[in-house]
Structures are given as structure tokens and as C-alpha cells.
Amino acid sequence: MMGTIYATLLQLFLALNSVAGDDKVVSLPGQPQVSFQQYAGYITVDEKQQRALFYYFVEAETEPASKPLVLWLNGGPGCSSVGAGAFCEHGPFKPSGDILVRNDYSWNKEANMLYLESPAGVGFSYSTNKSFYDSLNDELTAQENLVFLERWFKEFPEYKSRDFFITGESYAGHYVPQLAQLIIKSQVKFNLKGIAIGNPLLEFNTDLNSRAEFLWSHGLISDSTYQSFTSVCNFSQIRRQATNGPLTPVCAGVYGKVKREIGKYINTYDVSLDVCLPAVHSQSQVLNQLQDTPKIDVCVEDETDTYLNRKDVQEAFHARLIGVTRWNICSDVVKYNMQNLEIPTVPVLGELVKYGIRVLVYSGDQDSVVPLVGTRMLVDGLAKGLGLNTVVPYRSWFEGRQVAGWTQIYGDILTFATIRGASHEAPFSQPRRSLVLFSGFLSGKPLPEAL
């Protein structure tokens, strides 16, 4: 009996003195009362360079012991998974003025959610060796993220045997498959089941050059500008030139016409959504985009910036500002090797599929930055290259009685889906539909058909 009591007390002592115990978030300022546990803090990934990554972990709202673990990575490269993913998209809370309000469509309804600010230099993550920020690339980022996971699982060992999924959006079209590939090659014992990537950068030329067709088909540019944008100078040329120096006069002329016709008051990440305007304008900050859809706060990114720069919030989060004077949603110190953008990750998706890892690629259909037309073409081409048969033909899927998007499934392992009315950050503008998609991804079931 005494032995059992001693073992229990020892277990409790170790838990209270672990990183997990130190990182437990009692309550965030302005937070409504909740029953699930939250943790936030740092995992050191390189002692020599004094490099540490910041994470925010939210246990599932109900029955966390029976639900999978999901890692979320935002893109950029250099943007915050905590600020964008957790507070603007699918975390349990969203800032509203001085307080936090519950997100009724939080992904922790379906999973234990782990948000990671990666690479070092993003958000609250840091390296005391600032020269590290000048040499960041995909390989380093994947290695850093793997070290993080190995050490995080040591602090939360009860999650290591769970079904594990890696998710993200935008430049996470590199981060997510590359990390999954490294996990497989490293033969670490993670129970990796699948990956999901939204509006992902998969192939530089295809993804960027599909922007012209998208803008033209949505009426944002004229016929003549569309022709110039495809035959005289396309967007991949413009982006490549901008990375290496000034644009040529020809490309500068085409790009100038594109920008003039689109204008300043269109959010290219969601061409159908109004933009956040200063308070002096008459526009309300909260809009209803479509009938029967949740309200969208188009200024939530600004509110998140204000919230995460509060000292009391940083203290509650166990966060520190090291090498920077303020938290930013996208880093202004990280100097990523932009040539990495041209590394195609479609072959990596193919490797994952061959290994038996389920892959979901989804697109918010109002995004002109990485439009669905290029993504759909790349996924279909991948399926044909792998010899995968279509098991669910291209069809609409539903949330309730409304069409929520379109989907196609290849070989029961590779899925493409659109989210109707959604932006580059799909859960921001279509949270309910995105949650249905997320739930279907975790369960491995086809998306709902009409009732």
C-alpha cells in the first residue's frame, strides 16, 4: 500500500516539475472559462546556438485521451502558427477588444492541437545567434521541427502513441510534407497517419502562374491585361525577378497594370471578402459574408497583434521577446532562402502516398495567392503519375444543407477538396465548413453528400 502511495506521489512530483508542468497556462487574460487544459512555452532545439521554439498546446475540448494529436504549421515562410493559426483561424479563442471570445468552430473539438512558431525567429521563437536568421532554408526548418517534436514528446509522453497528423497552409506546402518525409526517413517512432495542407505552395511555376487565370475569371483584371500577364510576363517571372533584383521594364509594366486594375481595396487572400479599414471609415469590422455563415471579424489579425503584444498576455503565455522589440504575425528578422520556394514538393507528396500516409490537399476557392486551379491540376497530375484510380469522382460536398465545396479522392489515400467561399486561410472565413473538412480528414471518411 505504502509503495503504491509513494509511486503516485513520485509521479505527481515529476509531473509538477516537468516542462509540461511549468508550461501549463492557468488562464489567458480576458479568457472565458473552459474545461480543457492549455500549455505554452519553449522547447530548446539547439543548446549551442541557444535556439528555442515556442509552442501553444490546446487539449481537446472533450475526451482528450481518445483524440488524435495534430501539429499545425503556418507558412510565410516566417509567419506565426500561434497568431495566425490559433487566434485568427481555428484555435479555441479569438481576440475581441480587450477580451477573448470562444471560437465555436475550434479544431480542438476534434483533436489535441499543437501550434508551433517555426522556424526560430518567428513569433516568440528565437535564436540568440542572429546570424542564424540569415541562412534559413527548408532543410534546416524540417530538422529543427523534428528535434522539437522529439523533445516535446518526452515532455508529453502520453501523446507519443496517439494517431498523429501534420497540418498547415500556404508555405507549409513545403514545411508539412518535408517534415513528414524526414520523420519517415529518420525512423522515429511517431504514429504518423496523415498530412493536410491548405492552399499550399507545391510547384512554383504552376501555382504562381495560375494567379492570372483566377484574377481574370473573377473580373479583377481586364482581357488585355490577362493576355499580357500570361504571354508577355507571367507572375513566376515577376516573383523571380523581385527576389533577385529590380523588375525588367517589360515585367514592371505588366505588373503595374495588374496592380492598378485590382486596386488597393481588395484582399488578394480572399477576393470576395471586404478588407479591414481604419476606424474613421464607416465600414463595420464584423461582416456576414454569406447567409447562414458565422460572422467574420475582418480585423482579427490587427486585434491579435495588439493582444499578443500585451505584457500580461506574454506572461500568461510564458513567452519572451528575445532579439526583437515586439511580436509580429510575420517575422521581420527571418531572411529565408527564397530560392527554396522553387523546390517542388509534389514528388514528396508522392513519396508519402507510397509509404501509406494519407494526404489531403484543400483550397479555399476565393484565394488568388495560391489559387485552386493550379493546385487541383497538380494533385490530379500526381494521382495519374502514381497510377491511382479515382474512387470518389469530382463532386460537391455538403455542410448541412448547403454546398460546402467540391472534392475528389484517388486510391483512398489522396484527396483534393475545395472549401466554398473560403480564403487563403480557409478556417478564418469559413470556419464551420473547415471544421467539417478537418473532421472528415481525421476520420478518413469521404466528405458529406447532400442530405
Please, is 41 exposed, middle or buried when counting C-beta atoms within 10 Å of its C-beta (0-12, 13-18, 19+)? buried
- Residue burial 379-403, b: 16+ Cβ < 10 Å; e: rest: bbebbeeeebeeeeeeebbbbeebe
Q: Is 210 a catalytic residue?
A: no
Longest dimension (CA), the chain: 84
Q: Is 217 a catalytic residue?
A: no
The DSSP call for residue 136 is B
Please, is 264 exposed, middle or buried when counting C-beta atoms within 10 Å of its C-beta (0-12, 13-18, 19+)? exposed
Mark residue 264 as left, alpha or beta (left: phi above 0; alpha: psi -120 to 50; beta: remaining). alpha
CA distance 147 to 81: 18
Q: Is 367 a catalytic residue?
A: yes
Q: Which of 390, 371, 378, 392 is nearest to 350 (CA)?
A: 378
Catalytic residue among 367, 423, 429, 434: 367
- 258 contacts 221 by C-beta, under 8 angstroms: yes
- 359 contacts 415 by C-beta, under 8 angstroms: yes
At 102, which helix (H) or strand (E)? strand 99-102
At 237, which helix (H) or strand (E)? helix 235-244
Catalytic residue among 127, 138, 424, 429: 424
Catalytic residue among 80, 106, 170, 236: 170
Residues labelled catalytic: 170, 367, 424
